Amino acid sequence: MRPMSANQLDQLKQITTVVADTGDFESMKAYQPQDATTNPSLILAAAAKPEYRHLVEQAVTELKATGLTAAALTEAILDRILILFGLEILKIVPGRVSTEVDARLSFDTEATIAKAHQLIAAYEKEGHSRDRILIKIASTWEGIKAAEALEKEGIHCNLTLLFSFAQAVACAEAGVQLISPFVGRILDWHKAATGKDYAADEDPGVISVRAIYNYYKKFGYKTEVMGASFRNKGEILALAGCDLLTISPGLLAELQASTDPVIAHLTAAEAAKSEAPKISLNEKAFRFMLNEDAMATEKTAQGIRSFAADIVKLEKLVEEMIG
């Protein structure tokens, strides 16, 4: 029996795996999530802070000593920065860290696989099992195919920038470990398109994740669903019971500050009642179904552009430090 005084974060942890969506180590220590996720934007924000500058400097110092030059040196330093942040996170969380492949590889299956191999090798060299690492890849057709191949090697993947049912179905069929549907960015698009606000139960992002969760559970897919990119606490509470939810420090603080009851809205029993038919997607069907979804098409492209731009900013920061 849960004590009535339990805060919402502790209540949520009883029914959903809580993940920290941040590159800030102190936030992870404060909220004690199971896993942590990062992305280029979060790493860029963290790398710009004085308290994390030493990790960037460490990467520059290590890689300059290798004799690499120009673009190869910059790329190697960027990868090392991602690994160094990941290593620090693995000291804090008991579970997994998600490390993202360069967004500029989102349409290149072979290059994505090669980069995933490099990242996993770097973690394994540091003594970490690949079971504690999720390679984050954009939910393009090429990214999903890369993840399918990686999963067969025991390299687990987190398919990110996921906005549509088509992407979710393709990921499940590919046998990926986990998907990250972006709840808040779906809401952003609909608010901009309609000019209206949405209550949590009417939130298009919430509705999308519920549909995916129900479909996965009804048809026995093992792929984990991790709601991401939240704009408010209501979205999180409306998805209580989801496999995982990755939450920013600000919203973790809001949950911790409230003792209102948390109710599981997503359950396997409810999912079994879903009337959604089973579908299967080859590349042509996937591309057409995604193309028919204007929101998902626009937000996936926008997300890739945004993450790619932040990688470029991180590259410039590194190049300035190389001198």
Question: Which of the following is catalytic: 115, 136, 217, 233?
Answer: 136
Q: CA 317, CA 43: separation in Å to the nearest integer? A: 12
State how far Cα 146 lies from the chain centre.
16
Do 115 and 102 touch, CB atoms closer than 8 A?
yes
| Residue 127, both tokens | 């003594």
CA atoms within 13 A on the CB side of 152: 8
Average pLDDT, integer, range 10-25: 96
Establish whether 316 is a catalytic residue.
Answer: no
Average pLDDT, integer, range 53-67: 94
Question: pLDDT tens, 145-202?
Answer: 999 999 999 999 999 999 999 999 999 999 999 999 999 999 999 999 999 999 999 9
pLDDT attached to residue 2:
53
Give, in order, the Cα–Cα distances in Å from 306 to each of 23, 77, 208, 232. Answer: 17, 21, 22, 21
Q: CA 180, CA 185: separation in Å to the nearest integer? A: 12
The structure's pTM equals: 0.95
Q: CA 301, CA 216: separation in Å to the nearest integer? A: 25
Average pLDDT, integer, range 259-280: 96
